[in-house]
Amino acid sequence: MSEEQAKVDNRSRLTTEEFRRFVRSGWAPRPDARPERAEVAGYAARRRAVVSAAYPGERLIVPAGGLKVRSNDTDYVFRPHSAFAHLTGLGADREPDAVLVLEPRFGEDGEPAGHEAILFIKPLAERDSDEFFEDARYGEFWVGARPSLEDIEAELGLTARDVAEFADAAVKDAGQVTVRLVRDADRALTAQLDSARVEHGQAEEGMVEQDDDLAHALSHLRMIKDEWEIEQMRNAVAATLVGFEAVIAELDKAVEAGRGERWVEGVFGLHARHQGNGVGYDSICAAGDHANTLHWIKNTGDIREGDLILIDAGVEVDSLYTADITRTLPVSGTFTDAQREIYDAVYEAQQAGLAAVRPGNRFSDVHAAAIRVIAEHLHAWGLLPEGVSVEDTLDKEHGQYHRRWMVHGTSHHLGIDVHDCALATRQEYMDAELKPGMVLTVEPGLYFKADDLLAPERFRGIGVRIEDDVLVTEDGHENLSAAFPHTSDEVEEWIREVRSRR
């Protein structure tokens, strides 16, 4: 359910009965044609089948979530909950306040026999409704036409019903059937179901389960991508390459303009919005010492000719799958010796991390491989405390000195969420074996803050990260971002080549 917008009447208009009649009439009939079946529909059905098998006989409720107020009568752009997007195939902007219900079916013997997928949506309102022209939040006059129930059924191949029927459907057979809900998808709806539970006298018996079991299962379900999802990831990475190259072509302008980090953010954002739905997360456009602030999303800084600029950005395509790529570029086109020394160390760490991405290895092996190389370089540079060896610092109980210069993990799962599958347990995530179909980042870095007196002076103010998106395959991995440059020489050549296109 959407958040309430503030109601102010200082701009309200008088609507006469004459106008009402007038504005409701004189419209051409709606087209008969239904949308084609979406390519994702079959994949979404297979994902639902896995969920159905895991919860026989239980009602499963997966809300899209509602509109969120940005201020007064202005909402944020709508983004459905990731579990809802995954199980319906609906992506950008679709559909506020919708709820997917997997309704259990039973055979003649009373045994559970799968689920029916029912999508409750706000159907398209007729032209003779008040909503049509009076409701600035949902009305067709203001935000365009929504699909009808028939449209949704044709597009997605499931049963569609009016969301007005949801509340009764959710509590049907109260107490007889276990009801599970993705509780964080729509807090207002969760509160409504919790109070319905009390009204039905089920406070103790648990008509709506109070744990996050379903949300956890649906988050974990996304860990292995199907072929359609992998295609989405390829598209996201390809669009991200377009964005990065557009940024390189504009770097001179960004230096000249002042507040160059914002220029870079804007250029990438333009292409993200043009190629896909937008950025998959706030872009980090960090020149010079800003690269050492890991989540530098203010992007208020100037870019200077001799700086490196660390750009961590990804395009989210319309299906909501996002890339997550970092490249660290010399603004002049050429690394200084100190910049190259650090870049090459990070590159070496990334190669070690990438080499560890194969089935049979654990997820945490990728970080272990990369961080060992980072620790070796820090040791060789004499930065670890006196007497601390590489093994000492890698010792989780006692060491970890290297984390001063690389505090983050090397990898995370990637998909609809930039940090995908976040509710999976440690056992299912860090300690789990890599399996074909997983998509993860490999993104080591080294960060020497300008005021770090323990860093060599020549390194201070330099931060480097290299981040790629990789698919685990049967016999290793495929680097989905292989088209990006990797070595310091390749980065320089890339900048030259992109600039020469002008």
What's the closest the beta carbon of residue 371 comes to ligand GLY, in angstroms? 16
What's the closest the beta carbon of residue 442 comes to ligand GLY, in angstroms? 11
Does 289 engage in binding with ligand GLY (CB under 6 A)? no
Asked if 289 and 444 count as a contact pair (C-beta separation under 8 A), the reply is: no
Coil vs helix vs strand at 125: coil
The greatest distance separating any two alpha carbons of the chain, rounded to the nearest whole angstrom, comes to 88
User: Which phi and psi angles does 496 have, rounded to 5°?
Assistant: -60, -45
> Residues binding Mn ion: what is the number (CB under 5 A)?
4
Beta strands in 389-499 (DSSP E): 439-442, 445-448, 462-465, 468-473, 476-479
Does 417 engage in binding with Mn ion (CB under 5 A)? no
Report d(CA 245, CA 329) in Å as an integer. Answer: 12
Does 272 engage in binding with ligand GLY (CB under 6 A)? no
What mask, x for binding ligand GLY by CB under 6 A, covers residues 452 to 471?
---------------x----
Between 59 and 412, CB nearer to ligand GLY = 412
Between 409 and 436, CB nearer to Mn ion = 409
Q: Which one of 312, 341, 365, 452 is in contact with Mn ion (CB under 5 A)?
A: 312
Does 418 engage in binding with ligand GLY (CB under 6 A)? yes
Between 378 and 418, CB nearer to ligand GLY = 418
Q: What residue type is assigned to position 264 of the chain?
A: V
Report d(CA 291, CA 405) in Å as an integer. Answer: 12
Q: Which one of 186, 265, 324, 341 is in contact with ligand GLY (CB under 6 A)?
A: 324
Q: Which one of 324, 365, 468, 469 is in contact with Mn ion (CB under 5 A)?
A: 324
Report d(CA 319, CA 297) in Å as an integer. Answer: 24
Q: Which one of 103, 281, 359, 381 is in contact with ligand GLY (CB under 6 A)?
A: 281
Between 265 and 312, CB nearer to Mn ion = 312
What mask, x for binding Mn ion by CB under 5 A, covers residues 466 to 485?
-x------------------
Q: Is the dihedral of CA 355, 487, 322, 304 positive or negative?
A: positive
**265 binds, options ligand GLY, Mn ion, none, Cβ within 5 to 8 A by partner type:** none
Q: Which one of 232, 441, 481, 488 is in contact with Mn ion (CB under 5 A)?
A: 441
Structure tokens at 360: 């049979």
**316 binds, options ligand GLY, Mn ion, none, Cβ within 5 to 8 A by partner type:** none
Between 153 and 443, CB nearer to ligand GLY = 443
Between 65 and 463, CB nearer to Mn ion = 463
Does 443 engage in binding with ligand GLY (CB under 6 A)? yes
> Residues binding ligand GLY: what is the number (CB under 6 A)?
7
Between 69 and 422, CB nearer to Mn ion = 422
Asked if 272 and 92 count as a contact pair (C-beta separation under 8 A), the reply is: no
Between 48 and 412, CB nearer to ligand GLY = 412
Q: Where are the alpha helices (DSSP H) in 144-279?
A: 149-156, 166-171, 187-199, 213-221, 227-249, 251-257, 260-275
Between 154 and 323, CB nearer to ligand GLY = 323
Q: In 3-state terms, the chain is what percent helix, strand and coil (to 5)?
A: 40, 15, 45
Between 24 and 408, CB nearer to ligand GLY = 408
Q: Which one of 95, 151, 186, 312 is in contact with ligand GLY (CB under 6 A)?
A: 312
Determine whether 314 is exposed, middle or buried from the number of CB atoms within 10 Å of its CB (0-12, 13-18, 19+). buried
Q: Is the dihedral of CA 350, 354, 355, 356 positive or negative?
A: positive
Nearest residue (beta carbon) to ligand GLY: 312
Chain centroid to CA 227: how far? 18
Report d(CA 426, CA 424) in Å as an integer. Answer: 7
Closest CA to 142 of 75, 44, 58: 75
Q: Is the dihedral of CA 74, 75, 77, 78 positive or negative?
A: negative
What's the closest the beta carbon of residue 15 comes to ligand GLY, in angstroms? 48
Interface positions with ligand GLY (CB under 6 A): 281, 312, 324, 412, 418, 443, 467
Interface positions with Mn ion (CB under 5 A): 312, 324, 441, 467
